[in-house]
Structure 1
Amino acid sequence: MVKFSGYSLISSFTPFHSVILKKQRRFSALDLYSNNSTKSRRTLSVFANKHQLRNIKTHTEMGVEQYRPPLFSVAPMMDWTDNHYRTVARIISKHAWLYTEMLAAETIVHQQGDLDRFLAFSPEQHPIVLQIGGNNLDNIAKATRLANSYGYDEINLNCGCPSPRVAGHGCFGVRLMLDPKFVGEAMSVIAANTDVPVSVKCRIGLDDHDSYNELCDFIYKVSSLSPTKHFIIHSRKALLNGISPADNRRIPPLKYEYYYALLRDFPDLRFTINGGINCVDEVNAALREGAHGVMVGRAAYNNLWNTLAHVDTAIYGAPSSGLTRRQVLEQYQVYGDAVLGTYGNGRPNIRDLIKVH
């Protein structure tokens, strides 16, 4: 056991056994082009009208308790976890928690005339978490208020993205871990402007600020200065010395021992583990080790069916839906027919819809 000032770190955790996944399967454009005229006009558009938005809000006001706990969640991924992906993910799994792509608070504030394009979603996507990013408290507050009418089940602040677009020029994302006092203030602002739970997604550190003691300092200050009780921990540090976001998911070593030490040292908080977990067997292994919840990223996108089709039964113990891949495609076709061109200028187009694996 490694000792730090005030905290001790278990260093003997055994990593999850890797599981070889089946080859990914990409949806075919032909599946979306085949028309089913009556069914295809069902109102599944994510760009909901006012009546639909009221339905979404009423659905949420019933309380988060109606959903299964977030034992399994799909990570927020820029350009990936959009409405199209979330729609097909929800067809496959009824209980996985879904996260939006990160939306900059400034984007929400400056796009008030076109908010549906960024924030609207179909009621079927619950439970769903909105992830926002930013470093301006006024804009964070305004963005939270604007998002309220859409009925998200939780609002999450991004403190983990290493992208130069975010951590560099924008000075938010993972850079916020260097200023836990500000993060605490930001989380208080978010909580003051919404009635749903709030959470933080972060790394275990960045660059040379990667000790367990520094991570504990961040968690302690944020949770002490705000109502934040849920942290999603990507169990790698971030390197901001010019490597790409893809390399930041590969080069820094995973340190699951940091995550499991947090469970022990902060028993009043809830922690979700993220990073390097690629299939349902590994999710269950983490839950058996005591993880409060597990977040899966690229595997839930690149191996959509192989991952999500087993979540409800293997993790939540729910009866199988019995859906086949063909039936999933048929339901997604209905959605695709409903939303083609609704952005204007021909977007989304067929390419946008079939990038989902």
Structure 2
Amino acid sequence: MMKFPGYSLISSFTPFHCIILKKQRRLSALDLSFNNPTKSRRTLSVCATKQQLHNINTQIEMGGQQYRPPLFSVAPMMEWTDTHYRTVARIISKHAWLYTEMLAAETIVYQQENLDRFLAFPSEQHPIVLQIGGNNLDNIAKATQLANAYGYDEINLNCGCPSAKVAGHGCFGVRLMLDPKFVGEAMSVIAANTDVPVSVKCRIGVDDHDSYNELCDFIYKVSSLSPTKHFVIHSRKALLNGISPADNRRIPPLKYEYYYALLRDFPDLRFTINGGIDCVDEVNAALREGAHGVMVGRAAFNNLWSTLAHVDSAVYGVPNSGLTRRKVLEQYQVYGDAVLGTYGNNRPNIRELIKG
């Protein structure tokens, strides 16, 4: 492991969860601070400059399209963030970045005759990120090539899933953090087979490999060996001793100080924070502390309306659209009527469209 004697945790940092507004309070006035990711040194100031405000409202170009920056994104969640969920999420928020469920590279390769079922999505779901998983470079390359036709805006490699099926028997997901050289090679393969940006979603460590120096080693090697400039950091380590994925989202403590130290120590990279953030007030608190972007997971599914309805106005500063829950249901009904049974054998069915 490469040593980073100059890297240390931020000892004076006050975690943003200690200063967030209480959830019961009304959303505060627009909070639009955003640090320039190429800035030579990071400060954890809560003061937003005019240039930072401009950066938030400046659209970025990806794949020939222009979108607002990924200040807010919905996490990839197996069996949750399917195309039906993403459709209703996009009805509510026009600017949140959406991630697919993790798709194994092998699934994409072996389902070449049935790819629409796994990869197709309505154009309204942009901006959207495809997350893939796997540990075979040939299959990762082929999966990336096959996905190109669908026009995703970014491709993300899963290096954070702790489930026994993925990290255990499958030997990918968070287990890949133990082999940063391979991850760098995989990211190079993905980048070589697509024209869109690439990114990695990972934890801050695995089992006893949980020091800040080891996290820096992972980030340094992956970004040095590949064009990867964006990392989504789930600020918990993963435990691979048989505990469930749900317990892995609860038992290992959150260490946001690791995330904010990465901002300081890798000023040329972009980092999105994930883990334990479940309302827009907390999203804006993290952005005030200097986060480049914030990813929300279960709250964006379990509390769909209360989480997403304020994203466009409170995070992106877009005037309120006047959308109501009734209008959301009416628009989603139109979608549901159009897709029922389109895959044959009564798939998708009503249960799949309204799960949760």
Q: Report the TM-score when normalising by structure 1.
A: 0.86
Structure 1 residue 20: Cα displacement: 4.2
| 1:149-298 map, 5 Å | 149-298=149-298
Within 2, Cα distance between the matches of 1:207 and 1:71? 30
- Aligned twin of 2:32: none
Within 2, Cα distance between the matches of 1:328 and 1:76? 22
- Aligned twin of 2:142: 142
CA contact (8 A) 2:72 2:293 kept: yes
Within 2, Cα distance between the matches of 1:216 and 1:149? 35
Within 2, Cα distance between the matches of 1:132 and 1:331? 30
- Aligned twin of 2:31: none
Q: Cα deviations across residues 246-299 of structure 1 (Å, max 9, x unaligned)? A: 000000000000000000000000000000001000000000000000000000
Structure 1 residue 18: Cα displacement: 7.0
Counterpart of 1:102 in 2: which secondary structure? strand
CA contact (8 A) 2:9 2:261 kept: yes
Within 1, Cα distance between the matches of 2:325 and 2:255? 36
Moved over 4 A (4+): 18-22
- Aligned twin of 2:14: 13
Structure 1 residue 231: Cα displacement: 0.1
Within 1, Cα distance between the matches of 2:14 and 2:120? 41
Within 2, Cα distance between the matches of 1:173 and 1:81? 17
Structure 1 residue 4: Cα displacement: 6.9
- Aligned twin of 1:30: none
Counterpart of 1:199 in 2: which secondary structure? strand
Within 1, Cα distance between the matches of 2:15 and 2:164? 33
Within 2, Cα distance between the matches of 1:230 and 1:315? 20
Within 2, Cα distance between the matches of 1:333 and 1:21? 31
- Aligned twin of 2:340: 340
Q: Report the TM-score when normalising by structure 2.
A: 0.87
**What is the percent sequence identity of the aligned residues?**
87
CA contact (8 A) 1:19 1:279 kept: no
Within 2, Cα distance between the matches of 1:202 and 1:297? 14
Structure 1 residue 323: Cα displacement: 0.8
Counterpart of 1:9 in 2: which secondary structure? coil
CA contact (8 A) 1:19 1:278 kept: no
Q: Which ranges of structure 1 fall in alignment gaps of 5 or more residues?
A: 23-58
Q: Does 2:64 match 1:62?
A: yes
Letter in 1 for 2:64: M
CA contact (8 A) 1:108 1:143 kept: yes
Counterpart of 1:8 in 2: which secondary structure? coil
Letter in 1 for 2:346: G
Aligned positions, number: 316
Within 1, Cα distance between the matches of 2:15 and 2:141? 42
Structure 1 residue 347: Cα displacement: 1.3
- Aligned twin of 1:110: 110
Q: Cα deviations across residues 39-72 of structure 1 (Å, max 9, x unaligned)? A: xxxxxxxxxxxxxxxxxxxx97423xx1000000
Q: Which ranges of structure 2 fall in alignment gaps of 5 or more residues?
A: 26-60
Within 2, Cα distance between the matches of 1:310 and 1:19? 16
**RMSD of aligned Cα (Å):** 1.6
Within 2, Cα distance between the matches of 1:251 and 1:165? 19
Letter in 2 for 1:62: G
Within 2, Cα distance between the matches of 1:250 and 1:242? 14
Structure 1 residue 342: Cα displacement: 1.3
